[in-house]
Structure formats: C-alpha cells, structure tokens
C-alpha cells in the first residue's frame, strides 16, 4: 500500500515522483472498484497543492477509460504494481530558464532535450523510445476570464505595431505562449483587459533516449553505484557558444560556455 497520505494535497515534487506509476485498486473510491488496474496520468494544480489524475480501463469496455482526481488520502486505496515495463517521467521546466513553453519547444527543435535528474533517481526502467518525459511549465494553461479567444485576436489585429504583427503571424506549437511573447507594455494591458491568467500544466512530451552520468575529469569509468542504477557514462566537452539562433531570433543565451555531450 502506498505510504503517501500525510498531507491534504501533493507537493509538486511528490506529483513528479508519482507520475506514470501503475497501481491496483484495493478498495472502492469514486468510480474505481477493487481489482481495477490503472496509473497516474496527469496532475491538476490548485491553490493548496496538486491533485493527481488516476485512470483505469472500464471493465465493460476495455477500449474506454474512467478517471478521477486523487489526493494523498485516496492513495491509501492503491497498491503500486512493481513491473519491469518502461516508466514515464514528469519534468517541471523552470520559468527562469524558459519564459514560455514555446521557448523550450524551440530549443528542443534545435538541440534536443536534456534535464538534470535527482541524484538518487533509479534509471533502470527508463527505456529508449518507450519512456516518455512529460514536460510541465508554470504557464502551460491559459484561462480567459473576460471575452473570447476570437475577441482577443481581433483586438490584437487592430494594433498597428510590426512586433505584434510578427508575433501573430509566427506559428506556435503551444498557442498560449503567443500572448506571453507580446511586447511590453501591450502584454500587460491585454492580460488585464481580458482577465487572462496562466497556471501549471503539462504541455507536451518527448521520448527518453538514456539517463546519462557525466564523468568527471579524474574518472576513467562509470562508478559502480551509478551503473547499477541504469546510467550510461558519457564525457562532456565544453564549447564556447554565445547563443542559439532560430528563425533569426536569439532564443537562448547559455553564457560564456555551453556544455554539450
């Protein structure tokens, strides 16, 4: 049985750790029945913390799913299934590095995706081409409190500014990022006028290729403890690179030195 359940809601770190795990239902809660089997598939932000979304197949129709939000209290109704199949991950992408989800999407298109893992992370169930890394961001979900998206776009099309026109015409994989990339002070004015707010959410995923351990200068091989946890040893090479250019715009400034593997 899960040991979670001491708090009313999950912290973001707890939610990341539980994402993608599979469980048997021990006793009924919501639409879930004993012996149902499912997994954590998403999370929901609230002012007090995070709820997790648990999904399981319908017994009457295996092609359909039922789902419910769960708190640490409902986790007591679940027992984790220890299986050898690939595990999915959830990575929260900090706003201090990527102002919008689209910033990260552009970077992935140019350089791929990599992210630091906790030092105690067990990577043995990370499988190349099977494990998914879900990407979360504090401004992934946009809510319009006054008006509609059509009215918002019509308002912006009436603004005679070449920078605004460029933002409107540029393709976005994550549409809400378009409004975060409007030039200031127009951006602030638009957010107030349409009562626009943003919240944490998952905006996409990539497939994992490997969990790597960067060898230090004095290490000739991967430490045994890291090898046992499923890591692959690589040696990093430092290159001097001032910026990454995409479509004529600087999208990332790694500083004096950028580290690549």
What confidence tier does 243 reach under pLDDT thresholds 50, 70, 90?
A: low
Q: Tell which of 80, 110, 140 closes a domain.
A: 80
- pLDDT given at position 251: 45
| SS3 at position 248 | coil
Is residue 95 situated within a structural domain? no
What confidence tier does 207 reach under pLDDT thresholds 50, 70, 90?
A: very high
Question: Structurally, how many domains does the chain consist of?
Answer: 2
- When pLDDT is averaged across residues 195-219 and rounded to a whole number, the result is 90
CA dist., res. 238 & res. 219, Å (int): 17
Is residue 154 situated within a structural domain? no
Summarised one tens digit per residue, pLDDT across range 81-110 is 876 677 888 898 888 889 999 999 999 999
Q: Tell which of 26, 53, 80 closes a domain.
A: 80
Summarised one tens digit per residue, pLDDT across range 48-57 is 899 999 999 9
CA dist., res. 226 & res. 89, Å (int): 19
Q: Which residue has the higher pLDDT, 163 or 4?
A: 163
Q: Tell which of 80, 97, 117 closes a domain.
A: 80
CA dist., res. 261 & res. 235, Å (int): 7
Is residue 64 situated within a structural domain? yes
- pLDDT given at position 7: 59
Q: For residue 19, what are the domain limits?
A: 12-80
- pLDDT given at position 154: 94
**Which single residue is written with the structure tokens 């707010």?**
197
Element (H, E) at 157: helix 149-157
Contact 40, 21 (CB under 8 A): yes
Is residue 142 situated within a structural domain? no
Is residue 21 situated within a structural domain? yes
Is residue 105 situated within a structural domain? no
Is residue 240 situated within a structural domain? yes
- When pLDDT is averaged across residues 68-77 and rounded to a whole number, the result is 92
Is residue 143 situated within a structural domain? no
Dump the DSSP string for 96-107: TT-SSHHHHHHH
Element (H, E) at 132: strand 132-144
Q: Tell me the pTM.
A: 0.64
């Amino acid at each position: 049985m899960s040991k979670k359940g001491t708090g009313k809601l999950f912290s973001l770190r707890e939610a990341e750790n539980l994402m993608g795990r599979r469980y048997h239902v021990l006793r009924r809660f919501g639409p879930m029945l004993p012996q149902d089997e499912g997994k954590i598939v998403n999370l929901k932000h609230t002012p007090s913390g995070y709820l997790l979304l648990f999904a399981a197949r319908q017994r009457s129709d295996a092609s359909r799913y039922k789902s419910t939000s769960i708190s640490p209290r409902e986790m007591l109704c679940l027992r984790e299934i220890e299986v050898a199949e690939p595990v999915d991950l959830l990575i929260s992408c900090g706003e201090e590095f990527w102002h919008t989800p689209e910033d990260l999407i552009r970077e992935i298109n140019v350089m791929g995706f990599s992210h630091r893992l906790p030092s105690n992370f067990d990577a043995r169930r990370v499988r190349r081409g099977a494990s998914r890394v879900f990407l979360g961001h504090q401004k992934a979900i946009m809510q319009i409190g006054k008006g509609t998206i059509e009215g918002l776009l019509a308002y912006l099309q009436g603004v005679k500014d070449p920078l605004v026109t460029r933002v409107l015409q540029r393709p976005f994989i994550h549409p809400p990022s378009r409004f975060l990339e409007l030039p200031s002070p127009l951006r602030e004015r638009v957010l107030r006028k349409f009562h626009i707010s943003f919240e944490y959410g998952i905006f996409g995923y990539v497939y994992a290729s490997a969990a790597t351990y960067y060898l230090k200068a004095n290490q000739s091989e991967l430490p045994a403890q890291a090898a046992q946890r499923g890591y692959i040893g690589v040696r990093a090479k430092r290159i001097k690179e001032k910026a990454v250019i995409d479509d004529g715009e600087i999208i990332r400034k790694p500083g004096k030195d950028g580290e690549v593997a």
